[in-house]
Structure 1
């Protein structure tokens, strides 16, 4: 065996010496990939689409009892990390839980009003859902509860169907929408369809959130100015018209003084928290301090008798059952499903984005599909216990993280504080002025207007900026739903534009190398005389095959015109560099065939360089490889130029 290897090496060495002696360039042969069965190809595609993270890997080579235990832990992650939980970790979780509770209690009351629901429903929503999430969620940092954007979205969509004055019917539809929001989230997670939320681009989300921040703030002018008769519409024009018409008789100066003074205090506290990270707790407890001080001030001065609107009454006690209020039949089922699906998707987008951000900061794995199942389960159970749609909020999650949380136990601590509030403290909120709630909401949503991100988007990608600004104006000038629709439509439009109009580039050789790069990106790159090299930067499908063929022919026409004007040799070879062509379909094959026929009429030879395995397999299966000839398919552009035009290479 050893002797045979020595002989083979000698033969190869001799062949190499002859090539050098004859000055014949060595060209790597492009191998034909083995043919895969239809079942294997489908299995691979299905696995990469839905199970790319190989969720069954931990179960391999395990006993039945171990598999059962791992299955239970997969559904309830608390059983896994709970075994490693130490008493030393509880200190951080306790402090974080108490801190986010001080932030969430006033926010929950405010967000309930934003959703046109009674204040206690906000507190209910920070009791049951966080407990469910703590058991089933995989994030250590997310703080669960109502958030401004979803509260506004839910409230604006519900009031289009039912007047909030009809409380029982309104609440029933709210719980129905929450139920279907949970079902939507659960189904997406269970069937591993989480990739669908990625169709809402980051730029569109930035614009949508910024528009929502403006809309939410405008809605709070009612409470901040003490206006009683206020428009139910959310667009800028309607709100400003309502504010202006109430200028002389609708505004209450005592309310304005309270609202503006505490709004300034909240902004100052937030500024201190951002300026010095160690003072983050100041911004966290500022809303609760504002509620306590303003409530005491109204109580001792009886400001409610002077027109200052107050909360009045918050029902005492833990969450009552609301299962009987959910519409499972009737005309409101479809409406509840529509509203729930929209709010559920927005909730998923926000929670997954927040979870991934903080998981990356702390370097741990976040299972997106498990997150969706956890969020869906908590909203389904929440809908049956008088809760409206909840998710992970960025502000309270950031506070939770900075307060030193170690696990989801901080959510459990927060829930315990909320239940204590519901059982004991709620009567003390009777004299809380609505102006304070409006101030808390405004101070909370200002951070959603990320102008720095919008400027960066403008600098990086102009079409992304169009999607961003389109979603923003849609929310501000029309409605939250229209803004969301514009965000989704522009995100999909961008995908379609990129798929149907993929980029191409003319390549040239970098001096003193064998590397070929775009002549636009590298001005020093020189073209090979008699050869046009075009790189296609996309898969070739039915949606773009005709465009790619026509684009390549236009590049050839432009090149030949320039050569003719300068009396230079015509193009003899057209090399298509296919390293970026990840796949090709039947229409793509037909487009290459048409390109080949067009080039033959011009006496130009078509050459392919570096096609991938999947593309090469389809080229051979369709017999196109035989049509152009196996000797016209090369491993690289350099090999093609050396073989076909050795004397023309610059």
Structure 2
């Protein structure tokens, strides 16, 4: 970069012009297909394209031909292990959703089979989860009482599941997965923590043996329902609940300490169900205040097409619940799948996962299932059990099928307090104290978002918490766009590097020049702020130079490296900045404007207005050129007043 003053500065090129249709097509492709899924179809025969297309849409056709007996042995062990967790969890979460317990088993049979066909994750184990169940009971239960109108309530649940499937499938096919990214990590952490605590508190109904309980989910309503019924607490239920909860927590603690014994934690819920059922059967505890599941119908999933309430007065309630829970389930499921895929060094397609979730909820709603996703706990067990492919879901579904056909009568004496203990133990593992502390350490605003979501869930409702989290996250995004950072740059000594003076105190101001870096795209939302901020930088720099008695300001250089795009309002803002600079007797220069910016500058004739000679590839070249011009002017002025004082030496560019 050691240019001399006699060299011609390199000019910034304007990209070749494209038609509007070509530009629109390129932008659309980059937005919707950033991973270029069609590259594998290039230069292929029609028959091969058909096979590749089928494998892309239905991934089981891709991995099934390569399936081996070794894979089967691993998937068999993993599938049986997660089935031992899926059965008690399915029944437990069904009670949390206020639907018949059998729906939980139905939801662990059909959806895993669908996911095995369409899912791209090797480790995902699908089924119902606590947060989705809580959301269903909260959002639909507020409009329909599940105790007074169980049939209408169940219809609304199936309808919500159907619309969740429709929305998830559409997002996948339209490749709009980026919309889920608006649920920030901080928002999900706070939301999950709040939901986990509310779920735990609601299980006090089962632990204390209460018959009547509030349908509200805020902490005040839940605690009021608990402590206004102290006369109805059942000590038998309390003792049983504390014993099994302690057992579940101890097995989880031991499994974490001894990773090789992960199966102990996985088997603990089913063991609790078996022991609890035997204990109740032998002691007739159901006659002494310990509530049991009761009769579970044998047989596979009955069709539920006729149960979808498209003509129901509660249709909008079901659509709202389905949309909300579907998007949350997508965010959770895709995040879980990507987390475990990272450990095994493979990639999952978020859009394929959306299609898989959507299809399993669509089919599930037609076969008596309620909303399913990829729960973290079940997926972690599947991963630790050594699964190799999605076939572990088929094994799990087969085990649940055998349970539905032959074993459901054995759950008649299963105490509800054991199910409550299973849910509490699972939810305690979702409370992420470390995540909250980590957010506080890294970003106070993210911490605020997370705490706001948490408080919204705990003291309001799960919907309020979610709305608060998304709203604050969007406000932060809008704030960062409307108030972008601008930095004054200085020269790092003995280099041609220019960095923020605030970040690098050693960076020196260049005499006679103000170098500003704009750190965001320039859109209508931030043009007013940038215009005023640039003007303020100029005023402050002139005042600083005047008070310090230094060389007056002559040039304003805008580093456009981080400006990826600009709109018509941004062009108008640059025109106003240029006029303001001209009025003050200064010269505006641009450094490293990107291709999109150059296109707009060229079309708007701004290049001619600013002057092509005032656009440079780098800040260093802009400083060098301005420095040369500045010293040339001084030399000319000195020559006019005292020709003998002018030295014949030339000045370096930088």
Q: Give the structure-1-normalised TM-score.
A: 0.95
Which of 581, 589, 592 is matched with 1:599 structurally?
A: 581
Q: Aligned match of 1:353 in 332, 335, 349?
A: 335
The match for 1:224 among 198, 207, 230 is 207
Query: Which residue of the partner structure matches residue 244 of structure 1?
Result: 227
Matched residues in 2 for 1:298 and 1:570: separation?
91
Q: Which runs of 5+ in 2 are unaligned?
A: 632-652
CA deviation map 1:471-496 (0-9, x unaligned): 11000000011111112111211111
How do residues 190-209 of structure 1 correspond to structure 2 at under 5 angstroms? 190-209=173-192
Aligned with residue 321 of structure 2, among 339, 353, 361: 339
SS at match of 1:517: strand
CA pair 577-557 structure 1, distance change in 2 beyond 3 A: same
CA distance in structure 2 between the aligned counterparts of 1:618 and 1:72, rounded to whole angstroms: 42
Deviation (angstroms), 1:458: 1.4
Contact 1:25 1:643 in 2 (8 A): no
Question: 1:300 is matched with which residue: 282, 289, 302?
Answer: 282
Cα offset, 1:330, TM superposition: 4.0
Query: Are the aligned partners of 1:507 and 1:533 in contact in 2 as well (CA < 8 Å)?
Result: yes
Write the deviation string for residues 103-156 of structure 1: whole angstroms up to 9, x where unpaired.
111111000001001110000000000001101111100001001100100111
Pairwise CA distance, 1:329: 2.8
Please state if 1:636 is matched with 2:618.
yes
Report the more deviating stretch, 331-340 or 92-101: 331-340
Contact preservation (8 Å) 2:139, 2:317: no
Q: Is it true that 1:213 corresponds to 2:188 in the alignment?
A: no
Are 1:379 and 2:361 counterparts?
Answer: yes
**Does 2:430 match 1:448?**
yes
CA distance in 2, matches of 1:298, 1:57: 61
Residue number in structure 1 paired with 2:10: 28
Please show how residues 574-593 of structure 1 align to structure 2 within 5 Å: 574-593=556-575
* Cα-to-partner distance string for 1:1-34 (whole Å, 9 max, x where unaligned): xxxxxxxxxxxxxxx99x86xx535632222222
2:28 equivalent to 1:46: yes
1:259 partnered with 2:241: yes
The answer to whether the 8 A contact 1:209-1:448 is kept is yes
2:157 to 153, 174, 182: 174
CA distance in 2, matches of 1:323, 1:245: 42
| Contact 1:25 1:642 (C-alpha < 8 Å) held by counterparts | no
RMSD: 1.5
Q: In the alignment, which of 186, 189, 204 is matched to residue 169 of structure 2?
A: 186
1:512 aligns with 2:488: no
Residue 123 in structure 1 maps to residue 88 in structure 2: no
Secondary structure at the counterpart of residue 467 of structure 1: helix
2:518–2:563 CA contact under 8 A, matched in 1? yes
Indicate the larger mover: 211-220 or 447-456: 447-456
Q: Describe the SS at the equivalent of 1:497.
A: helix
Q: Deviation digits for residues 421-442 of structure 1, max 9, x if unmatched?
A: 1111111111111111111001
- Helix, strand or coil: the match of 1:320? coil
Tell me the distance in 1 between the aligned counterparts of 2:439 and 2:513: 39
**Matching residue of 1:501:** 483
Deviations 1:154-179 (A, max 9, x none): 11111112110211111111101100
CA distance in 1, matches of 2:285, 2:30: 63
For 2:427 and 2:27, the matched residues in 1 are separated by: 42
Matched, 1:556 2:518: no
Deviation at 1:580, TM superposition (A): 0.2
Partner Cα separation in structure 2 for residue 428 and residue 26 of structure 1 = 89
Determine the C-alpha separation between the residues in 2 that align with 1:36 and 1:618: 12
Partner of 2:529: 547
Deviations 1:331-376 (A, max 9, x none): 3332221111111111111111111111121111211111111111
Long gaps (5+) in structure 1: 1-15
Please name the residue that 1:420 is paired with.
402
Contact 2:191 2:454 in 1 (8 A): yes
Query: Matched residues in 1 for 2:12 and 2:42: separation?
Result: 37
SS of the equivalent of 1:645 reads helix
1:323 equivalent in structure 2 = 305
Q: Given that residues 287 and 440 in structure 1 are in contact (C-alpha distance below 8 angstroms), is that contact kept between their aligned partners in structure 2?
A: yes
Task: Give me the whole-angstrom Cα distance separating, in 1, the residues matched to 2:271 and 2:256.
Answer: 19
SS of corresponding position for 2:569: helix
Deviates more, 1:65-74 or 1:465-474: 65-74
Aligned partners of 1:25, 1:67: CA distance in 2, in Å?
55
* Whole-Å separation in 2 of the counterparts to 1:59 and 1:601: 58
| 1:177-199 deviation line (CA, Å, top 9, x unaligned) | 10001000001001111111111
Distance 2:501 2:218 in 1: 49
Separation in structure 2 between the aligned mates of residue 570 and residue 268 of structure 1, nearest angstrom? 74
Mapped partners of 1:309, 1:590: distance in 2: 72
Secondary structure at the aligned position of 1:192 is classed as coil
Aligned counterpart in structure 2 of residue 570 of structure 1, from 552, 560, 580: 552
- Aligned residue pair count: 631
- Contact 1:224–1:259, Cα closer than 8 Å, also in 2: yes
**Which residue does the alignment assign to 1:12?**
none
- Classify the secondary structure of the residue corresponding to 1:144: coil
- Cα deviation, 1:586-632, whole Å, max 9, x if unaligned, reads 00000111111111111111111000011011111111111111111
> What do residues 204-262 of structure 1 show as CA deviations (whole Å, max 9, x unaligned)?
01100001001101110100111222211110111111111112x12111111111111
User: 68-77 or 435-444: which moved more?
Assistant: 68-77
